[in-house]
Structure 1
Amino acid sequence: MRAFLFPGQGSQKVGMGAELADASEAARDVFGEVDEALLQKLSTMMREGPEDQLTLTTNAQPAIMANAIATLRVLERDFGIKLEAHGHCVAGHSLGEYAALCAVGAFSLTDTARLLKLRGRAMQSAVPVGEGTMAVLLGADIEQAKALADAAAQGEICEIANDNDPTQVVISGHTAAIERAVVLVKEFGIKRGMILNVSAPFHCSLMQPAADRMAEALTITSPAAFTLPVYANVSAAAVTDPEHERALLVEQVTGRVRWRESVLAMRADGVESFVELGGKVLGPMVSRIDKDAQVTNLVTMADLEAFAKEMA
């Protein structure tokens, strides 16, 4: 069994998608549709920068999705590898869950781009700049991270945002609480804590205003039926019902990204092969979660060609 994976924020970089766009009409069509949907030349920003603009949450979220879907469309149209024929399920990290849903027909590309643009704006504006941040804990398991977060909170918000793999957990909350956590890491047996260069404290309860806005948006633009199960971030379980998935997408804004558990759940359900589309972030996480899992990253035309030959 094979799962197709879709990366999340942090995988953006200037030049992303340029090779695919130069080589394939299928990729150009994706970038053109996203540009039209957002009424901006996002594809130019992806190709040329500036990096500080591409990194902004409101741009990074639709850009990462567009790159992943472009990779998928090239695989499907240029190499004849259909997702439904060669995959058994999909999953995405944070915003990547929207890309996964787009890939299996729950949202159109246009709607996905608009929802992610709104999601980025809502998350950016939920907390005043400087009041919240995030930190990555290296060499930390989930129990160590939870104990540290509880100790550092001191009446403020300090919560686990991402359970990425057995050695990497991300915490999120009020800036002072996150800074206290970084100072305390050694006391909890954690190798290192680093403040992340992010514009807001994602995936914690401070994001509730953004969750409220997404609830409204997803009532208007709800997921349709999808062709493959989606492993949702907040439940770490397969979802097939669109209404259930809509509720989980709202919960996801403030909830923990349970990526480690999601990969373990897919493995328990029989998935042996994981294919990341448009990035090289999730694949290494999968390998750290389960060294026996087969991992493939598809970024370049050469990657896609090699994968197509393998599937032939």
Structure 2
Amino acid sequence: MRAFIFPGQGSQAVGMGKTLSEASPAARELFQEVDDALSQHLFRMMVEGPESDLTLTENAQPAIMANAIATLRVMEREGGFSLADKGDYVAGHSLGEYSALCAARAFDLSTTARLLKLRGRAMQAAVPVGEGAMAALLGADIDKAQALAEAAAEGEVCAVANDNDPTQVVISGHRGAIERAVAMVKDHGIKRGVLLPVSAPFHCPLMQPAADAMEEALGKATVSAPLLPVYANVLAGPVADADEIKARLVEQVTGRVRWRESVAAMWGAGVTEFVELGGKVLGPMVKRIAPDATVRSVVTMDDIEGALASF
């Protein structure tokens, strides 16, 4: 069995999508569709930068999605690829869940782009700059991370945001609590704590204003039944019902990204091959979760040709 997976924030880079658009009319068309949906020259920013603008959450989120779906579009239009025929599940890390839903035709492309633009803005606006922070805990499993978060909170928010793999967990919350946690890592048997260069504390209760904004937006959005089941971050399990998809996306804004559990569950369900579209960040995590899995990253035209030949 095969799962197609989609990267999250942090995988953006100036130049993304450039070679794909130069090689493929299908990719160029997709990037133009996203620009039109957002009334913005997002693709120019993806190719030319500046990096400071591309890194802004409201730009990074739709850009990462566009790059991933452009990769899929090239495979479909120029390689005769069918996700429904070649895949069993889709999943994405945080914003990547929207890419997965778009790939599975639960959302159309324009809706996905607009939802991610709004999601990025709402997440950025939920907490004043400087009041929140996130930190990666290296050499930490979920139990150690949870214990550290509870010890460091001291009445503030300090929560596990991303359970990425058996060796990396990300915490999120008030800046003071996160800084206390980083200072306390050795006491909890954790190798290192590294503050992340993010502009807001994602996936924690401080994001409730953004969750409210997404609930309103998703309430108006058209959601179709996906072509194949989508593993929801907050469940670490598959969803296929339109109303449940919306509910889980709202929960996801404040909830934990259960990536380690999602990959383990897919492996347990019989998935032996994971194909990351538009990035190279999830593959190493998958190998740490399911060492015997086959992992493939598809970013370039050469990658696309190799993948199409292997399916």
Fold shared per TM-score above 0.5: yes
Identity of aligned residues (%): 69
CA distance in 2, matches of 1:272, 1:288: 14
Query: What residue is the counterpart of 1:184 in the other structure?
Result: 184
Residue segments in structure 1 that go unaligned for 5+ positions in a row? none
Task: Provide the C-alpha distance between the structure 2 equivalents of 1:63 and 1:79, rounded to a whole number of angstroms.
Answer: 23
Shift of 1:107: 0.5
1:219-230 residue pairs with structure 2 within 5 A?
219-230=219-230
Q: Please name the residue that 1:216 is paired with.
A: 216
- 1:76 paired with 2:76, answer yes
Letter in 2 for 1:189: G
> What SS does the aligned partner of 1:60 have?
helix
Deviating more after overlay: 223-232 vs 171-180: 223-232
**Superposed counterparts of 1:268-283, under 5 Å:** 268-283=268-283
Equivalent positions of 1:137-152 (< 5 A) are 137-152=137-152
Once the two structures are superposed, the pairs formed by residues 47-196 of structure 1 within 5 Å of their partners are 47-196=47-196
Cα deviation 1:233-271 (Å, max 9, x = unaligned): 000001111111110000000000000000011011111
**Amino acid aligned to 2:266:** M
Map 1:5-20; keep pairs closer than 5 Å: 5-20=5-20
Task: Indicate if the aligned counterparts of 1:279 and 1:299 stay in contact, CA closer than 8 A.
Answer: yes
CA contact (8 A) 1:203 1:257 kept: yes
In structure 1, distance between residues paired with 2:235 and 2:29: 34
Does the 8 Å CA contact 1:20/1:300 hold for their aligned counterparts? Answer: yes
2:122 partner letter? A
SS in 2 for 1:78: helix
Matches of 1:38 and 1:164, distance apart in 2: 31
CA distance in 2, matches of 1:308, 1:226: 22
Report how far residue 222 of structure 1 moved: 3.8
Q: How does 1:222-301 map to 2 (within 5 A)?
A: 222-301=222-301
Aligned residues of 1:91 and 1:100 also touching (Cα < 8 A): yes
Question: 1:166, 1:260 within 8 Å by CA — same for their partners in 2?
Answer: yes
2:174 and 2:124 mapped to 1: Cα distance?
14
Cα RMSD after superposing both structures: 0.5
For residues 115-166 of structure 1, what are the alpha-carbon distances to aligned partners after superposition, in whole Å with 9 as ceiling and x for unaligned?
Answer: 0000000000000000001000000000000000000000000000000000
The aligned counterpart of 1:197 is 197
Q: SS of 2:228's equivalent? A: coil
Q: TM-score, normalised by structure 1?
A: 0.99
Aligned-partner residue type, residue 243 of structure 2? E
CA shift at 1:91, angstroms? 0.1
* Whole-Å separation in 2 of the counterparts to 1:110 and 1:81: 22
1:137 maps to a residue whose letter is L
Unaligned runs of 5+ in 2: none
Provide the C-alpha distance between the structure 1 equivalents of 2:273 and 2:77, rounded to a whole number of angstroms. Answer: 22
Name the CA distance, whole Å, in 2 between partners of 1:101 and 1:305.
24
- 1:32 and 2:64 aligned: no
Whole-Å separation in 1 of the counterparts to 2:8 and 2:78: 25
Q: Deviations over 1:183-225 (max 9, x none)?
A: 0000000000000000000000000000000000000004211
Tell me the amino acid that sits aligned with residue 221 of structure 1.
A
In structure 1, give the amino acid aligned to 2:4: F
Q: CA deviation at 1:167?
A: 0.2
| Counterpart-to-counterpart distance in 1, 2:147 and 2:88 | 36
| 3-state SS in 1 of match to 2:79 | coil
TM-score using structure 2 length: 0.99
Q: Is the 8 A contact 1:204 1:255 kept in 2?
A: yes
**How many matched pairs?**
311
Distance 1:226 1:240 in 2: 6
Q: Give a deviation string over 1:34-55, Cα, whole Å, max 9, x none.
A: 0000001000000010000000
What is the alpha-carbon distance in structure 2 between the residues aligned to residue 172 and residue 274 of structure 1? 28
Task: Give the whole-Å Cα distance in 1 for the aligned partners of 2:309 and 2:268.
Answer: 28
Structure-1 separation of matches of 2:223 and 2:139? 37
Give 1:94 deviation, angstroms: 0.3
Moved over 3 A (4+): none
